[in-house]
Chains A and B, each alone.
Chain A
């Protein structure tokens, strides 16, 4: 049997999904939804948009499931879809109403104490992420929260490794400024 990065159970669920079994695909969604919703939330800063984008990601993944070749982990493949949908979403938002989205991004977390963050540090970090340009935010989400190397993040984002390194560098520079008053060890 050929070795694949997906687990046996996962491979079986993918196979069943490909044959049109919705329960099998629901099981795949169930096991990966937290990761995908975390990515889309970090990228949008909005629970509603995050949920919608996560749904879009799973729908797109289903449509292209036949092209998943098992050379990477299924979760990595899903992550790539989710992050690129989030970037497309941000571009659309910017085009539609640049001023509004900028304002919304900058104030969403700051003016919304009911956003449900467990503590002040978490709220401040998300507010700082919201102020990064989308590509820099994506680079931080992948390298810090998804623990991808710069090379892996470059594959996910479809750009050069050096571009990821620069984005991470620039993002860190800005985040340090935005979070300088937080206590650190």
Chain B
């Protein structure tokens, strides 16, 4: 079954008929609830006095500032805000959808791609974020220790050590997140163990 065939089946599905009297009564039920519970919208709008709104906004700003400070201490360098793979929610959702199947989630110029194992043999381990730029193009990955990623025609093995450091072993270089010397040729690499990052 292809995509169009599935869509056609889904669109053919109809809902149970709603009885005429139910359709007739429904608006009255809604209005009855409004009369019972709710003030008119304009009255509701003026419920909070202006000063209360200002206090709420100030509290939100203070919380946001505190979180920003805390995150700043947690991370030595920031994952780009525009990177979809920086969304912990999305990553956790994908991991829940395909348990032990995800080899890598890849984001590059062509969009997001999912590399799955057919056999569900990917061991459970903390997700690792890797971003590699070759001067013109950047690719981001969320993958796991022991998995291989393809960049610029090279196969790169991604490994993590016990302390959360990440090692990338390519055919022409070895790069480590714990060492300052970037021995990765023209590639600029950034990597983080997402288990240690509050995203």
B69 within 8 A of A: no
CA–CA, A50 to B144, complex, Å? 42
Q: How far is the CB of A118 from chain B (nearest CB, A)?
A: 5
Are B5 and A166 within 8 A (Cβ)? no
Interface set, chain B 45-99, CB cutoff 8 A to A: 45, 84, 87, 89-90, 93-94, 97-98
Minimum CB–CB distance from A155 to chain B (whole Å) comes to 16
Interface on chain A toward B: helix, strand, loop, or mixed SS?
helix
- Of B17, B34, B38, most buried by chain A (CB within 10 Å of CB) is B34
Q: Which of A63-71, A82-90, A92-100 lies at the interface with chain B? A: A63-71
- Check: A176 CB closer than 8 A to any chain B CB: yes
Indicate if B198 sits at the interface (CB-CB under 8 A): no
Select from chain B the residue with minimum beta-carbon distance to A126: B13
Q: Contact check: which of A18, A33, A55, A179 meets B42 at CB < 8 Å?
A: A18
Give the interface segment out of B20-28, B121-129, B189-197. B20-28
A145 to B9, CA, bound (A): 12
Interface residues on A, range: 35 or more
Please determine whether B38 and A62 come into contact, CB atoms closer than 8 angstroms.
Answer: yes
Q: Mark B1-33, 1 if CB is under 8 A from A, else 0.
A: 101011111111111111000110011111101
B44 to chain A, nearest CB (A): 6
B15 engages A122 (CB within 8 Å): yes
Whether A182 is near chain B, meaning CB under 8 Å from some CB there, is yes
- Least Cβ distance of A143 to chain B in Å? 9
A22-B112 contact, Cβ under 8 Å, with A58-B30, A125-B13, A176-B6: no
The residue that B13 contacts in the complex, of A27, A54, A65, A121, with Cβ under 8 A, is A121
